[in-house]
Amino acid sequence: MGTTLFGPSGFPLRVLFATGEMFPLAKTGGLGDAAAALPAALARLGVDITAMLPGYDSALDAACGKRTLARLPAGGTLLLGRTPDSGLPVYLLDWPELFRRPGGPYQDADKRDWPDNLRRFAAFCAAAAHLAQHGDGGGWQPEIVHANDWHTGLLPAFLALHPGPRPASVFTIHNLAFQGNFALDEARALGLPDALLGTEGAEFYGRFSCLKAGIGYAQRLTTVSPTYAREILTPEEGCGMDGLLRARRGDLVGILNGIDTGLWNPAGDPALPRPFAAGDVAGKGDAKAAVRRELGLDPAAAGPLVVGVARLTHQKMADVVLAALPALLDQGVQVALHGEGDPALEAGLRAAAERFPGRLAVRIGYQEALAHRLLAAADIALTPSRFEPCGLTTMYAMRYGAVPVTRPVGGLADTVADVDTAAEGGTGFTFADPTPEALAGCVRRAVTLFADPPAWRRVQRAAMQRDFGWDRSARRYLDLYRDLAPAETGRLRRLAPPSVDPPPAPRPEVLPAASWSEAAD
């Protein structure tokens, strides 16, 4: 690793990685995967990194070896545990009133946003900021704070508004469309600092935007692919933030996400009936037979199995997939779809499955192991998007020998090379117009190639052999941290005693920003 490992303090860089979800503690999509795999990859490079996550029930259940570090006068407790798989240290903000409730991290069981999301994530960010400024009460303080998406957008803002020495901040945009926008009055009522309420702060078209806070206040910005980093500077793809992003373009870099090649590994995946690899895909046949049985698809069909695993949303073109289904099935393929999201699209897909028994299977819901089984079984993975910051599912699909049919946008443009236009080693099929006709036409190209087994095998092998591991990208984050860690962060205490100084902002009545009190146990 040479000397790049060390920060100005002469010790390994100390990084706090704050996130709203992290597999397997909590996951609603790709953020959960990336927020687990990147810190683990950085830890493998020798970075002294600790993640921080709200103490959801699922996270408290899954984390190992939890111990209490400090209690917050306003109600929360800071716990330190480890992830069950990578063993990465993780802080959990245990605050039952805010985070321990039935439902998901951001929504209730009926998929309605929790009405107090601003308070929940402002409290989380305030706790993380306090930890970053004063130490964790157990002797650790970061030099770099890395925040992710709107849930942690207020964290760089709280740090920036803090007068004293403070860690440097990085903010990663995983999806610009999720902005965490709330009524300004709600922000005011929570006692958020006045500086945040104006246009120079987090005010965004008359609302209060947690995402804008992250983009505006973090010292460095990253997003999850080079192409998306360019796209979000345009009015078409900038979701209203493009002006601010253009102003900050010198601080913004696109770093392609990697994938966890241990977790998403067809040669060692416990969810599959038989392992397989690029050199021998016989096990894919077993996976296909098993999935056909499981989903009630005709076991003897000759055509390819087309699979889709995605949130059923506008972003993922679920409406276009639904409209294209009759045209796809006309081509002699079988289709298996798994996802959840827009209730109208869920109902539409269920109805379509009833119309085409044995040829179309739809499973509404969210099942981690089924996603693995489906991608292993698939000949073709349907992963189209109107926009896509990175698109991990497409990379998983390629590694599992499922040739993607997708659009060349965002991270998909950076990871899929079209078979017909790539100079060499095409790995999938892409189409430009987000229409059912263009989608069906693109699937037709794939179906035609599927009828030529040696040619198909070449494409499949090329897709499976692409290196999507995290190592290269994790090194880029490490370089970014090193550039950023200003000399003065080296003076931040390596062994910090629990602080007794209340920070100036945000105010303690509503947010947990008063001092840590030492844990009783």
- Which H/E stretch holds residue 347? helix 343-355
Alpha-carbon span 507 to 514, nearest angstrom: 8
Asked whether position 153 contacts ligand GLC by CB under 6 A, the answer is no
Burial class (CB in 10 A: 0-12, 13-18, 19+), 326: middle
Taking the complex as a whole, how short is the minimal distance between the CB of residue 119 and ligand ADP, in angstroms? 25
71 or 372: CB nearest ligand ADP: 372
Residue-wise burial string across 294-323, b where 16 or more C-beta atoms lie within 10 A, e elsewhere: ebebeeeeebbbbbbbbbbbbbbbbbbbbb
Asked whether position 37 contacts ligand ADP by CB under 6 A, the answer is no
**Of the ranges 30-38, 113-121, 133-141, 469-477, which one interacts with ligand GLC (CB under 6 A)?**
30-38
Q: How far is CA 123 from the centre of its chain?
A: 21
Taking the complex as a whole, how short is the minimal distance between the CB of residue 500 and ligand ADP, in angstroms? 41
**Of the ranges 26-34, 135-143, 190-198, 467-475, which one interacts with ligand ADP (CB under 6 A)?**
26-34
Taking the complex as a whole, how short is the minimal distance between the CB of residue 254 and ligand ADP, in angstroms? 15
Closest CA to 161 of 119, 200, 120, 204: 200
State both tokens at 432.
């430009």
Taking the complex as a whole, how short is the minimal distance between the CB of residue 45 and ligand GLC, in angstroms? 19
**Of the ranges 137-145, 267-275, 334-342, 349-357, which one interacts with ligand ADP (CB under 6 A)?**
334-342
Instruction: Return the number of other C-beta atoms located less than 10 Å from residue 444's C-beta.
Output: 17
76 or 391: CB nearest ligand GLC: 391
Q: Which does 47 bind (CB under 5 to 8 A by kind): ligand GLC, ligand ADP, none?
A: none
Among 20, 30, 39, 304, binds ligand GLC (CB under 6 A): 30
Alpha-carbon span 449 to 426, nearest angstrom: 12
Among 83, 152, 175, 179, binds ligand GLC (CB under 6 A): 175
Q: Identify any residues that bridge with 310 across adjacent strands, giving them in sequence order.
A: none
**Of the ranges 115-123, 178-186, 294-302, 390-398, which one interacts with ligand ADP (CB under 6 A)?**
390-398
Alpha-carbon span 260 to 153, nearest angstrom: 25
Residues in 365-404 at the binding interface with ligand GLC, rule: CB under 6 A: 388-392
Asked whether position 149 contacts ligand ADP by CB under 6 A, the answer is no
Question: What stretches of 57-135 adopt beta strand conformation (E)?
Answer: 64-71, 77-82, 89-94
**Of the ranges 76-84, 335-343, 352-360, 423-431, which one interacts with ligand ADP (CB under 6 A)?**
335-343
Alpha-carbon span 129 to 134, nearest angstrom: 8
Q: Which does 338 bind (CB under 5 to 8 A by kind): ligand ADP, ligand GLC, none?
A: ligand ADP
Asked whether position 27 contacts ligand GLC by CB under 6 A, the answer is no
Asked whether position 166 contacts ligand ADP by CB under 6 A, the answer is no
Alpha-carbon span 445 to 443, nearest angstrom: 5
**At 13, which amino acid appears?**
L
Asked whether position 258 contacts ligand GLC by CB under 6 A, the answer is no
Peptide bond into 299 cis (omega under 30): no
CA 320, 326, 327 angle in degrees (round to 5)? 80
Residues in 364-383 at the binding interface with ligand ADP, rule: CB under 6 A: 366-368, 371
32 or 137: CB nearest ligand GLC: 32
Give the chain's length: 521
Asked whether position 310 contacts ligand ADP by CB under 6 A, the answer is yes
Q: Which does 309 bind (CB under 5 to 8 A by kind): ligand ADP, ligand GLC, none?
A: ligand ADP
DSSP-derived secondary structure letter, 497:
P
Q: Are 18 and 128 spatial neighbours (Cβ–Cβ below 8 Å)?
A: yes
Give the count of residues interacting with ligand ADP (CB under 6 A). Answer: 18
Among 152, 225, 393, 515, binds ligand ADP (CB under 6 A): 393
Alpha-carbon span 57 to 63, nearest angstrom: 10
Q: Could you list the residues that contact ligand GLC (CB under 6 A)?
A: 29-31, 34, 174-175, 224, 257, 388-392, 411
Sites of contact with ligand ADP (CB under 6 A): 29-31, 33, 309-311, 338-340, 366-368, 371, 390-393
